[in-house]
Chain A
């Protein structure tokens, strides 16, 4: 086939076909439209204000590596006035996270951004390796997901940031829409397409790549020769998400706009008020002070099960009853350090990070 010229500049040779629009464009126009679309998403959603301290949740993988690069570029180009930080969670998975953290440490140098690494071991006293040796590979993703969410908030509080941005992309969000439909999780379906989530007590979280296709993120990283790490977690993957992902990729192969179309469908769902009302009211965990919809937050429940040698008590009701039958938690039980909400007056006393 003869080389085609770029549909935007009509000058250079086209080098990729945009999945969102089908346009064939050159490398320079691709950089420009990719970055500008992220900028437009940020501006239209009013994500930041000048002076904000923003942590980039960095795993060393492609999405967060590209996010760090693009956030730095846009912050300089459009003078957002943001203080940017890298925040990484070390789950303690030998041969996986230790390698990807090396990538984040290189990113810290390459992008000259301060980096904070918070480990499960430091926060909970358990690495994922230790958890898996206790619970096996079946339910370990539950522990990892609950622990990571809370660790990101706590790491962000240590950095005194106002805001966490994550590398979730359009494919991830479309997948989540599909999963929530298939699970009948209507409450989550209603909120999973929001670009920004903020509870009263939590640090603001947002997804500047909400409309960025995974294909374009990978092409961007390839053309810019960005340094990222790609290996699947060595422990069992989230099987249900895996099915949704394969299904979505098949849809995308047949019709590339499928991803953005599913997100638009998700955004258009209107959740009835009586369904929203079934969500439990938020309170704070009696043991660690983190937000929770029960007396104990999920992380404290899971940690108590691990510490008392009944790890499943955080997973099934039956195991929970067995644990309760053994009596109350012992006084010397290891607990998570008390969480002070960064929005509260006590926020300045939060700094507990080891230097």
Chain B
């Protein structure tokens, strides 16, 4: 894996979260395969892109409003479910899951009225 490689992913928002992302549920995007260990610090060591990186990347590149409804202390806000290829991210190592080409990552808010 060279530093120029990218990974293409499908990201989906639902349960009301899509409202923070231009009211668009499904997004296709490419992210670098290797990213700094410390988000935004190009001089730090690199690691394979993981979900923690993706969450920050989405905040800085796709999120349109009210960041506090999406993130809290370097991860998603409690009450947001994350699925990796339809599996609960709690079974996949949560933020440490290393992204692979073609992965589908779904973010669902449970915080909206029922």
Contacts and interface: CB of A to CB of B under 8 A. Distances in A.
B67 to A, nearest CB: 15
Given A1-B92, A215-B110, A249 B87 contact: no
Interface of B: 14-16, 19, 77-79, 81, 83, 86-88, 90-93, 106, 108-114
Interface in A217-265: 217-219, 222-223, 230-233, 245-246, 249-250, 252-253
Given A59-B113, A215-B81, A230 B14 contact: yes
A17 interface: yes
A113 interface: no
Main secondary structure of the interface of B (DSSP, over half): loop
B90 A17 contact: yes
Contacts of B106: 222
Contacts of A252: 78
A15 B16 contact: no
Interface stretch (A45-53, A61-69, A146-154): A61-69
A283 interface: no
Nearest to A22: B90
A246 B79 CA distance: 9
A230 B109 contact: yes
Nearest to A19: B90
B71 to A, nearest CB: 13
Q: Most A CB atoms within 10 A — which of B19, B83, B88, B93?
A: B88
A214 interface: yes
A231 B108 contact: no
Contact of B16 (A1, A63, A230): A230
A253 B78 contact: yes
A313 interface: no
A223 to B, nearest CB: 8
Contact of B114 (A13, A64, A215): A64
25 contacts: A4-B91, A14-B91, A17-B90, A17-B91, A24-B91, A61-B112, A61-B113, A62-B114, A171-B110, A172-B114, A214-B79, A215-B110, A218-B110, A219-B81, A222-B83, A222-B108, A223-B86, A230-B15, A230-B109, A231-B16, A233-B113, A249-B79, A249-B111, A252-B78, A253-B78
